[in-house]
Structure 1
Amino acid sequence: MKRFYTIALSLLFITCTIQEEHKLVKLEGLVFGTTYHISYLASTKSSFQSEIDSLFALVNKSLSTYIPTSDISKINKGDSTVVVDPFFTEVFQKSKEIYKDTDGYFDPTIGMLVNAWGFGPEKQNNPLDSSKVEEMMAFVGLDKIQLIDNRIKKKDPRIYLDFNSIAKGYGVDVIARFLEGKQISNYLVEIGGEIRARGTNAKDQYWKVAIEKPNTDGSQSFETVISLKNQSMATSGNYRKFRISKEGKKYVHTVNPKTGFAKESNLLSASVISNSDCADVDAYATAFMAMGFEKARELVESQTKFKVFFMYLDVDGNIAEYAN
């Protein structure tokens, strides 16, 4: 019995030593036009800030439509000689898979219309009618683009790629993989509301995150709090990013790839949770917003790879919730 107590006390000492050695490191700043927050437990206080900044710069150089010299900007201007990097390749391949799985409701070639409706880097704000939308829809469809020998091949040079609906989530994955490469197994990485969490926090509990209510008045309040158990989460909603025309019409930033119009669906907010990469849930959250509640629920109930939390308008116009 004495030997058992000795072992128990030794284990307790080792456990306390490990907890004392692993300090909580927090980083925050601006990237991709939004904020980021990174928290992790490490045996040293090294922040890896310079390495993380370098990774952000590389992702931007590859995927940012807001940087004129990025690879994607050059491709959108018609440069067919660009040799894309592994960042671009992975995002393109993921986009192809999710485009197929969502029946085209996730489609990065909708960028031309995102710009036209005033939500892209070009900040256009011209009124669009059905004929103009139909004309631009001829250049929409990810099946019209291929990646061959690390170069993008378009059926028409005017096709415009926009990975903004998956790039934040992908940026989260890039940083998370970097931390894992540094043998850090307890972390939470968040960029603009897209999150990837592994392990536990400083209190040895799963990382907790909040889901916002769809407030349209600019205020911030929370609908629920959940624990992420080695999962990624992304939330998409049209209650903040929208504009009102001079005629009083409301246009939302999620453009429907099936119609080309920036009209609100009855789905107000879509939070997607999965064991997969954050890029995946980021893309699916966008697709669900374009689908509307009924189609989104149908797709959710046909699979088991992710959990969702939806807020939507019911037939009486009241806010309702759905979770699987």
Structure 2
Amino acid sequence: MLELALPMLQIMTNHSLKTNTMPSILTGSKKYSFLLLLIAIASCQTQDKMQRLQGNALGTSYNVSYFDKLPNQMVSDSIDAVFLRMNQSMSTYWPNAIISKVNRDEPVTIDADFKKVFQTAKAIWEQTDGYFDPTVGALVNAYGFGPDKSFKQIDQATIDSLLNISSFDKVSLLSDGTINKVHKNTYLDFNAIAKGYAVDALASMLKSLGYTQFLVEVGGELFASGLNKEKEKPWRVAIDHPKQDANRTFIATLPLQNQGLASSGNYRKFRTDASGKRYFHTVNPQTGETVQSNVLSTSVLAPSTMLADAYATALMAMPYEKGKTLISNLSTIEAIWVLAVNDSVQVVATPGFTYDLE
């Protein structure tokens, strides 16, 4: 999970000039000083300030930072509208969402958001040899990580049965805008890509309103545009240390500019059975079992947060060496892995992933 490393907000006081206090005669250096004062006051009144909006949506939290002289109500209203769109299209927690109707095998025409996510997910499913697969939703639910939070210790026969209906090649988008499923019980879940897509949708909304320097975060997934105007430097963000103690710590920080960044990790989301065995939320689509490996977390830089989100999930599901080979063949994608090595952690990154260890 990613944590924003945001600067403290500075509250600037507006100044007003009363004409009845102005001297009647100003000469020489006094006139020059007074003009400088006027310029300074005008600058304080017109300078853009960081505006921050935060709240809860999509089952997580969000933060949006942008620069303007005053808060813009249109930005706030547009954020709500974007999240409503996402829920109506792809929330498995909304019974009337498009994806919920698809999962119940009801006839429904998908919208533009669903189509874009579906097509991107299909492409990444092919690129990753199936390690990114939104159809493992039935297995995710069986392990207690879906809308039904109850943990179920499932046997091999159940895993095999669910694997039989869990493969993206059994789901297709038809020309009339409907979804065809070979097995009616195949369960789609875009959780591993939809948050990233929501970040991109918010970024697109801000750009449409004329903003070019902003930072958007939803559930730890990020997109940074332009510079942090307060510092005239790229936005600075941090990656959580996978082994947390009582105080939250970071393992690395990095600059982020005109890119998306997403992380995936098994260090927080897991279930424990009666024997103490842990079942992690990342499911291997090849075996149907929850992933247990030395990969503690992955973070991905990409042109969009949707891509970063999906690839980060794929890297958690596949073996480390296979993940390295995958990323080396993708020219616009960079990644960092946090690996468990004996009793310590090791950080490994691709050449284009610039970071500072904490």
Q: 1:297 matched to which residue of 2?
A: 324
CA distance in 2, matches of 1:306, 1:55: 26
Q: Is residue 101 of structure 1 aligned with residue 127 of structure 2?
A: yes
* Pairing 1:172-251 to 2, within 5 Å after superposition: 172-201=199-228, 202-215=230-243, 217=245, 219-251=247-279
Counterpart among 75, 78, 92 of residue 51 in structure 1: 78
Contact 1:216 1:240 (C-alpha < 8 Å) held by counterparts: no
* Per-residue Cα deviation, 1:84-135 (whole angstroms, up to 9, x for no partner): 1111000001101110111100000000000000100122422211111011
Q: Is residue 128 of structure 1 aligned with residue 145 of structure 2?
A: no
* Per-residue Cα deviation, 1:141-192 (whole angstroms, up to 9, x for no partner): 1111111111101111110000001111111011100000011000000001
Q: 1:8 matched to which residue of 2?
A: none
Offset, 1:219: 4.5
CA distance in 2, matches of 1:25, 1:317: 43
* Per-residue Cα deviation, 1:12-55 (whole angstroms, up to 9, x for no partner): x9xx9699432211000001111100001135421421221111
* Per-residue Cα deviation, 1:220-247 (whole angstroms, up to 9, x for no partner): 2101110002111001100011111111
Offset, 1:61: 0.8
Aligned pair in 2 of structure 1 residues 247, 84: CA closer, same or farther (>3 Å)? same
Q: 2:340 matched to which residue of 1?
A: 313
Aligned pair in 2 of structure 1 residues 217, 257: CA closer, same or farther (>3 Å)? farther
* Per-residue Cα deviation, 1:61-102 (whole angstroms, up to 9, x for no partner): 1000011111111110110x2111111000001101110111
Q: 1:260 matched to which residue of 2?
A: 288
2:93 aligned counterpart, secondary structure = coil
CA distance in 1, matches of 2:184, 2:44: 57
TM-score normalised to the size of structure 2? 0.82
1:109 aligned counterpart, secondary structure = coil
Q: 2:136 matched to which residue of 1?
A: 110
Contact 1:241 1:253 (C-alpha < 8 Å) held by counterparts: yes
Aligned pair in 2 of structure 1 residues 64, 218: CA closer, same or farther (>3 Å)? farther
Aligned pair in 2 of structure 1 residues 200, 119: CA closer, same or farther (>3 Å)? same
Query: What 5-or-longer segments of structure 2 have no aligned partner?
Result: 1-38, 351-358
Number of aligned residue pairs: 307
CA distance in 2, matches of 1:178, 1:226: 25
CA distance in 2, matches of 1:180, 1:39: 13
Aligned pair in 2 of structure 1 residues 19, 168: CA closer, same or farther (>3 Å)? farther
Q: 1:85 matched to which residue of 2?
A: 111
CA distance in 1, matches of 2:63, 2:164: 40
Offset, 1:217: 5.0
Aligned pair in 2 of structure 1 residues 219, 287: CA closer, same or farther (>3 Å)? farther
Counterpart AA for 1:50: D
Counterpart among 270, 273, 291 of residue 301 in structure 2: 273
Q: 2:36 matched to which residue of 1?
A: none
Q: 1:41 matched to which residue of 2?
A: 67
Counterpart AA for 1:32: L
CA distance in 2, matches of 1:57, 1:166: 17
Q: 2:6 matched to which residue of 1?
A: none
Counterpart AA for 2:210: Q
* Pairing 1:5-24 to 2, within 5 Å after superposition: 20-24=46-50
Q: 2:13 matched to which residue of 1?
A: none
* Per-residue Cα deviation, 1:231-270 (whole angstroms, up to 9, x for no partner): 1100110001111111111000111111111132221010
Counterpart AA for 2:328: E
- Relative contact order, CA 8 A, sep 6+: which one is greater? 2
CA distance in 2, matches of 1:137, 1:82: 25
Counterpart AA for 1:268: L
CA distance in 1, matches of 2:300, 2:43: 37
Contact 1:250 1:263 (C-alpha < 8 Å) held by counterparts: no
Q: 1:9 matched to which residue of 2?
A: none
The structure number with the bigger radius of gyration is 2
